[in-house]
Amino acid sequence: MMYRSLLRLLPVAIPLLVAPTPSHAQADSSIPHTVDDAVRILRTRWLAPTDVDRFLRTPKGIATAEMHFPFGMQVRNEFRLWQGNAALLRSCGVSEPEECSGIIFDRLWETLRTFADSGLVRALDCQFKLSEGVQIRYAGFYRLRLAEILDSVQAQIDRQLPRLRSTLPASCSVAVGLQLRRQAGPNPACWARIEFSEDGRDPVSLEGFLGWFAWRNAFTPVHTPPYLELRFNDPCAWPSQPPQFQPTRPPG
């Protein structure tokens, strides 16, 4: 399944949601027996409006992979998947609790879109397609400060956008963009943790690059067409180059 491959891609997920406290979950005595029931409980009882908005503005594969970290175990425990909730497993069409929770998260993402403004959903889909199409080369980034890395990423986006816009569906606005907008950071003097920069695997999609890079440097990417907002939790996570995270294979 897609979420399994993305879990391998994201060694530590960007914090997306905050799992409910045990008292919150225990107060809900209902146990879902279908995927739709499970989605309804998550949407109406577990998720705050800010969680819903963040989930909606994240591409499906990444959003559902990220959701496994705060919610996966909670869902499997509270929905009694480990205790053999046969009806819910049957509704998922699988026998493994972890796979079932992944199917629930996929359906949740799809369901939230039906409650959102159709124009926003269309704009997000167009931007998701662009961000998956943009290919980022990151070799040598370990020499740069964080702001310089983001400048390079934006320059690479700008070079590729004219071609990528031509591949979008006709329903996408000609004005669709992919402008990085930085909120509350970064400090121009600060460095970045980017120990994978010399792994020889570039280029990768912009979405994939940010999946590796953002959590290491204390910011969260959020799609807000025509912008891709970078919301910094810490404007200077690395005041100096982190020696413990230098590239393992620097160029000779």
For the stretch 113-136, pLDDT in tens is 999 999 999 999 999 999 999 999
Average of per-residue pLDDT values in the chain: 87
- Domain stop point among 116, 134, 166: 116
Is 71 within the bounds of a domain?
yes
For the stretch 130-173, pLDDT in tens is 999 999 999 999 999 999 999 999 999 999 999 999 999 988 88
Percent of the chain with pLDDT over 90: 72
HEC assignment per residue over the chain: CHHHHHHHHCCCCCCCCCCCCHHHHHHCCCCCCCHHHHHHHHHHHHCCHHHHHHHHCCCHHHHHHHHHHHHHHHHHHHCCCCCCCHHHHHHHCCCCHHHHHHHHHHHHHHHHHHHCCHHHHHHHHHHHHHHHHCEECCCCHHHCCHHHHHHHHHHHHHHHHHHHHCCCCCCCCCCCCCEEEEECCCCCCCCCCCCCCCCCCCCEEHHHHHHHHHHHCCEEEEEECCEEEEEECCCCCCCCCCHHHCCCCCCC
Is 30 within the bounds of a domain?
yes
In a shared domain, residues 126 and 111: no
Is 251 within the bounds of a domain?
no
Is 252 within the bounds of a domain?
no
The range of the structural domain enclosing residue 71 comes to 2-116
Is 34 within the bounds of a domain?
yes
In a shared domain, residues 13 and 86: yes
In a shared domain, residues 109 and 211: no
In a shared domain, residues 92 and 135: no
Is 250 within the bounds of a domain?
no
Does residue 15 have a pLDDT over 80? no
In a shared domain, residues 49 and 112: yes
Is 137 within the bounds of a domain?
yes
76 confidence band (pLDDT: 50, 70, 90): very high
Q: Give the pLDDT score at 4.
A: 36
The mean pLDDT of 40-57, rounded to a whole number, is: 93
In a shared domain, residues 176 and 199: yes
For the stretch 217-242, pLDDT in tens is 999 999 999 999 999 999 999 999 99
